[in-house]
């Protein structure tokens, strides 16, 4: 009976061996162009938290390689993977556009790829701003428990710490340290 099922559906066997769900250009049947990647569309305020939601969603869908440029468009126009890559890239672009407020989406709707779209958004909204850094540090300094429960107070403070951490993340050292200086700097930052 096992051999009968193989001969009845030879195409199913060949399709299942050519589609690799671990490949970034694989689109799951449940993926829809109407999906959004963040619970609240980005309207120009709170870019870093919106960005974090989008990155998580794309990671879950195994599509981060499209926005970071690692999943490159096949060079050959006759490549069998070109159509599949284009379809997937358009899907990622649509998901990101669906996660933006209409006026922002309208301003970037003519980009040619999801990587270009992501780069445009990063350039426009992910600017480390000295005034913003100062404002957050001031909020941390001015934050008092007052009538808040300790968990509410800690949650507010932790959110501000995380926001500062993401602002300064671009400037953190990623090299391998052998003298221990990096750990001391990290400890001093945590103490601060």
Q: Where are the domains of the chain?
A: 16-125, 130-191
Q: How confident is the model at residue 10 (pLDDT cuts 50, 70, 90)?
A: very low
Cα Rg of the chain (Å, integer): 23
Cα→Cα distances 77→35, 52, 114, 139, Å:
29, 34, 19, 54
Q: Is 42 helix (H, G, I), strand (E, B) or coil?
A: strand
Task: Considering only residues 80 and 55, tell me which one the structure prediction assigns the higher pLDDT.
Answer: 55
pLDDT computed for residue 41 by the predictor: 94
What DSSP element (H or E) covers 106?
helix 102-108
Single pTM value for the model: 0.65
Residues in the chain, how many? 192
pLDDT computed for residue 14 by the predictor: 39
Contacts of 2 (CB under 8 A, 6+ apart): none
Q: Is the pLDDT of residue 8 over 70?
A: no
* pLDDT tens figures, 17-70: 466 888 898 888 899 999 989 999 999 888 888 999 999 999 999 999 999 999
* pLDDT tens figures, 129-157: 677 778 888 888 888 888 889 998 889 88
Asked if 63 contacts 37 with a C-beta cutoff of 8 angstroms, the reply is no
Query: 């569309």: which residue's tokens?
Result: 41
Q: How confident is the model at residue 110 (pLDDT cuts 50, 70, 90)?
A: very high
pLDDT computed for residue 63 by the predictor: 95
């Amino acid at each position: 009976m096992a051999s009968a099922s193989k001969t009845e559906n030879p195409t199913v066997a060949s399709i299942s061996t050519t589609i690799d769900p671990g490949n970034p250009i694989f689109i799951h049947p449940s993926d829809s162009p109407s999906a959004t990647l963040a619970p609240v569309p980005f309207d120009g305020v709170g870019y870093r938290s919106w960005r974090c939601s989008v990155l998580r969603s794309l990671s879950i869908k195994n599509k981060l390689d499209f926005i970071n440029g690692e999943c490159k468009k096949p060079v050959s126009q006759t490549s069998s993977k070109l159509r599949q890559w284009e379809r997937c890239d358009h899907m990622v672009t649509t998901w990101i556009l669906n996660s933006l407020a209409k006026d922002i989406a309208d301003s970037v709707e003519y980009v040619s790829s999801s990587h270009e779209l992501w780069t445009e958004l990063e350039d426009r909204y992910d600017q480390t701003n000295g005034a913003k850094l100062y404002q957050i540090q001031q909020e941390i300094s001015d934050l008092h428990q007052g009538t808040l429960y300790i968990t509410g107070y800690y949650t507010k403070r932790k959110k501000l710490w995380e926001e500062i951490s993401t602002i300064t993340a671009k400037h953190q050292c990623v090299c391998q340290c052998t003298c221990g200086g990096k750990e001391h700097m990290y400890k001093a930052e945590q103490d601060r």
